[in-house]
Structure 1
Amino acid sequence: MILSHLLGGNVPPPPQEWIKAYSDGAVNLGDGSAAAGGVLRNHNGDWIVGFSRSLGKCLVLIAELWGAHDTLVHALRLGFKSVVIEKDNAEVVDIYNNLFDALAGNTLVDALKELRDQDWTTRMVRIKREINGVADKLASMSRGHPIG
């Protein structure tokens, strides 16, 4: 199973019509520079698209939310109709699934939920941090670069 091998564990692939997305946020505790990144993979684990963006300085939760937001933007832009997003941040997963009202009314949270509620099927689930290594590396690459 290619996906399991790439992710270093026994990770089941999504059904054939679904894509799997991984996103992450990263903040340097020394200077506060933040970034978000992620990757979309098909049911075989093949790379579809990866992304990374510098966020300037922000809290870890905000960086994580940007990662989830950008993941959905890319999946929607590419026309996917069924997406499972895997994150290692429980707060973002709970916010996405309406289990936690942190940052209620926040523009970024509202935008994330607006994307979630488009005409498609999405799920967000929590995974172990070790499984999210590719998204973590992509996010870390952009820290300290110009915003965008």
Structure 2
Amino acid sequence: MLTISKILRCQRLVQSPVVGLLYRKWHKEAIQVAWQKPKIGWTKLNFDGSSKGKTGEASIGGVFRNHNAEFLLGYAESIGQTTSTIAEVAALRRGLELVLENGWGDVWLEGDAKTLVEIIVKRRRVKCPEIQRHINHINLIIPEVNNCIVTHIYREGNRVADKFAQLGHQLEMPQIWRDIPPNVVLPIMQDDADGKIVLRKR
């Protein structure tokens, strides 16, 4: 049974600024994230890189879709041991090479590595020579594309590209899928096509 003194202690605890701060932190409104279709005539590339823990085994992946959210092409490959940042930039570079190979002129590039997107958009230089080498190659390709925009999306809206990057860990050789995607990405692709909102906790 709660005595008066215990009730008062409970009230003081609930009214404590620290408890109030924790409560507000856990109850902030979540961010709504949804993949968006490109405009008619545009092709959208979502790309991603993956690097696994202590081993640093890395892979890349990406997916191209049209204005109806229809699958055009997907790619994945293992790239050996490296960092997640290098995997991200390598995934974008490979995607752009495929843009040129397929003759797509109006292209929307989207990834969940915010820093990388800012480096590309603002044409910044980086200290890491390997990353800068990839960026230099990317900066040479982009002007060859008729129209090109680069944006960041939270990982909750980049789930198909993430699946392709995860597939890359399982591959001995680079792989490209044309017209028909692997079954593992189909449910997520349908979610994206339907405009499903995924909540991201702040």
Quote the residue 1:91 is aligned against.
115
Secondary structure in structure 2 of the residue aligned to 1:117: helix
Structure with the higher helix share, 1 or 2: 2
- Which shows bigger deviation, 36-45 or 136-145? 136-145
Contact 1:34 1:144 in 2 (8 A): no
Residue from 135, 155, 167 that aligns with 1:141: 167
Unmatched runs of 5 consecutive residues or more in structure 1: 1-7
Root-mean-square deviation (CA), in Å?
A: 2.0
1:131 aligns to 2:147 (yes or no): no
User: One-letter code of the match for 2:56?
Assistant: G
Secondary structure in structure 2 of the residue aligned to 1:75: helix
Contact 1:85 1:125 in 2 (8 A): yes
- Which shows bigger deviation, 91-100 or 107-116? 91-100
Unmatched runs of 5 consecutive residues or more in structure 2: 1-31, 175-202
For residue 12 of structure 1, report the CA deviation from its aligned partner: 3.5
- Which shows bigger deviation, 17-26 or 68-77? 68-77
Secondary structure in structure 2 of the residue aligned to 1:67: helix
1:59 aligns to 2:107 (yes or no): no
d(CA) in 1 for partners of 2:48 and 2:76?
Answer: 10
The CA deviation string for residues 7-45 of structure 1, in whole angstroms up to 9 with x for no partner, is x95443211111111000000013110001000000000
For residue 111 of structure 1, report the CA deviation from its aligned partner: 0.5
The count of residues paired between Structure 1 and Structure 2 equals 141
Quote the residue 2:40 is aligned against.
16
Overall identity of the aligned pairs, in %: 26
Quote the residue 2:104 is aligned against.
80
Dislocated runs of 4+, deviation >6 Å: none
Report the structure number with the largest CA radius of gyration. 2
Normalised by the length of structure 1, the TM-score is: 0.86
Normalised by the length of structure 2, the TM-score is: 0.64
Residue from 105, 108, 115 that aligns with 2:141: 115
d(CA) in 2 for partners of 1:103 and 1:45?
Answer: 37
Residue from 72, 78, 83 that aligns with 1:48: 72
